[in-house]
Structure 1
Amino acid sequence: MKFLKKDENNVKRIGGIPVGSLWRPDPERTLQTFEPENPSLLTPGATGVGWDLNTGAIAAKLGLIRPDDSLPDMEQYIPKGYRRALRYLPFAGLGVIGLLAKSVSRHEHVASNWSASGYPNTYGSGKLAAGTLLAVGAIPLLVMRLARETNGSSISDYSISGRMAKAKRQAADSKLPAGGSVSASVIAGANAVGVQTLTELAGAAMLRELKHRGKRQPLILLAPISFPLVTLGILIAVVKSTLSNINKSLRRQRQKS
């Protein structure tokens, strides 16, 4: 009996739990973290062991976007402003986290574990907490960079969006990066901003608790939900702007004809 098995989608699993690369994110799985045409809320993680949240499915179920609003399908129309913003905004986020970490590191003991209601349970080293904040804030930047380096050969055709995007690109004879690499970069950037928002709120809660020892900190309750909310908000904005660009392009074509 094999310890590591592959399922019908060629995903490695251990005891039913998906396993990915520990260092290089799978670009196809990155795309699946915002795949509205896929109704599954959980998808195999882009890195490491476990699952990622499919925020695209959430948006589609809430009626915020349509199930066929897949970014790889309309990649060439993604606004350049969003591409640039999602490339550089995480660096600004890391700077904010660095300032928070510097303040946290100055204290001997800071809250390191919290109850479900937002009260501090245990305290730990300020330097260790600062290092954790920096690590969590920096890892998404590495993932984002690796996603940008992905070429088309890394995206297989088993996913719905991969097949549709490939067909549309071939039909349009466009010069898009093959396999949705731009979309993967945009999605990775949005995920990075979401993770960093969570980290910033956690750091702010630590500092606030230092001024109000033992008190409930609402910021620590907001931190876990900030990641999907921020990521989802950014990607919905990208989809809406991309659809607007498509409509403008269609109007120009009609005017020319």
Structure 2
Amino acid sequence: MNTRPDDSGTHDDGIRRIFGVPVSLPGLADARAHLRGFEPENPDLFVPRTFGAGWNLNVGAVAVKLGLIRPDDSLPDLAEHIPPGVAGALRVAPIVGGAVVAAAGVRAALTHKRLPSNWGITFKPTRWSSGPAAMAAPVLISAGAGAWAEFSARQGSEGVEVDATAAAQALSMQAMSLLLITAATRRADDPQSSRLWPAAGIVAAPVVTTGVLVATVRSALRQLDGSLRGARTDKNG
């Protein structure tokens, strides 16, 4: 998918710009928009957000630069070749992830009267709230991400069991939420606790997205290679 704008300022997939900033409103329900964050064929490191205004990191381009995949390893072309076991795991994982984050959030809220609810650029808490109030955001975000991934899978093309990009993005948000919950409880228990926990929460999102999608692409390539080998064997036999 090409996300570069034409002379009118409108991208070929309908993305518009306001004062040079890309704005996408229907992105959450648009399967094409989900792919913007994983475009190995697009060398641009930053691409329009799936939903809202601004840019996201193109983890597909990052994976290519790291030598993990090739530029022509396009997920839409490989979607039908994702092994059933991998597709099933991607379908279930965001639901399980949402449940795990919810359990961690409820436990943290019940065992701590006050928890950090906002972090500054130096990864120190800038605001504290009651336990339930502090845990509401990560729990709701994780639950919403899991529901979005399932909705996207059901809205997908015939023959494609899962929206891999939506699942990967949901898992990345859930991993980030879980690490931030851990950071909050550790800070509440020990004011001198390491700042690495909230930092890890921020870094987790692109790392998890990249890892899940690269693994999915590689599994699809292996499945496709096996199918082609089998077809050649049958033909020669």
Pairwise TM-score range, normalised by the shorter structure: 0.7 to 0.9
Contact 1:41 1:54 in 2 (8 A): yes
Structure 1, 103-112 or 124-133: larger mean CA deviation: 103-112
Where in structure 1 are there 5+ consecutive unaligned residues? 153-175
Unaligned runs of 5+ in 2: 1-7
2:172 to 194, 215, 228: 194
2:55 corresponds to which residue? 51
State whether structure 2 residue 222 is matched by structure 1 residue 244.
Answer: yes
Per-residue deviation, residues 150-203 of structure 1 (Å, max 9, x unmatched): 355xxxxxxxxxxxxxxxxxxxxxxx55xxx657x1111011111100000000
User: 1:21–1:97: structure 2 CA closer, same or farther, 3 Å change rule?
Assistant: same
Cα distance, 1:48–1:216 mapped onto 2, change above 3 Å: same
Q: Which amino acid aligns with 2:153?
A: R
Is the CA contact 1:120–1:215 (under 8 Å) kept in the aligned structure 2? no
Shift of 1:8: 4.0
Counterparts in 2 of 1:11 and 1:252: CA distance versus 1, 3 Å: same
Counterpart-to-counterpart distance in 2, 1:15 and 1:150: 33
Relative contact order, higher structure (CA 8 A, sep 6+): 1
- 1:14 counterpart = 2:8: no
2:127 corresponds to which of 122, 127, 131 = 122
Check whether the contact 2:27–2:50 (CA below 8 A) recurs between aligned residues.
no
How far 1:211 sits from its partner (Å)? 1.6
Match of 1:75 among 68, 75, 79: 79
Aligned residues: 226
Aligned to 1:98: 102
- 1-side partners of 2:109 and 2:53: how far apart? 30
Paired AA for residue 230 in structure 1: V
Closer, same or farther: CA 45–118 of 1 in aligned 2, 3 Å: closer
Measure the CA separation in 2 of the matches of 1:19 and 1:239.
28
1:140 aligns with 2:145: yes
SS in 2 for 1:68: coil
CA contact (8 A) 2:102 2:143 kept: no
1:222 matched to 2:226? The reply is: no
Letter in 2 for 1:91: I
Measure the CA separation in 1 of the matches of 2:161 and 2:49: 19
Q: Percent of pairs identical after alignment?
A: 33
Report deviation, 1:118. Answer: 3.5
| Conserved 8 A contact 2:175-2:204 | yes
Does structure 1 retain, via aligned residues, the 8 Å contact 2:41–2:61? yes
Deviations 1:123-169 (A, max 9, x none): 222221111111221221233133224355xxxxxxxxxxxxxxxxx
- Give the superposition deviation at 1:243: 1.0
Deviation at 1:117, TM superposition (A): 4.2
Give, as a single letter, the amino acid of the residue that structure 1 aligns with 2:195: Q
Distance 2:79 2:27 in 1: 26
Is contact 1:27–1:147 with CA below 8 Å preserved after alignment? Answer: yes
Give the distance between the partners of 2:168 and 2:117, measured in 1 at CA. Answer: 27
CA-to-partner distance for each residue in 1:85-143, whole Å, 9 max, x for gaps? 11111111111111221123233321223344443343222221111111221221233
Q: Alignment RMSD, CA only?
A: 2.1
TM-score by length of 2: 0.86
3-state SS of 1:252 partner? helix
Which amino acid is the alignment partner of residue 191 of structure 2? R
SS at match of 2:133: helix
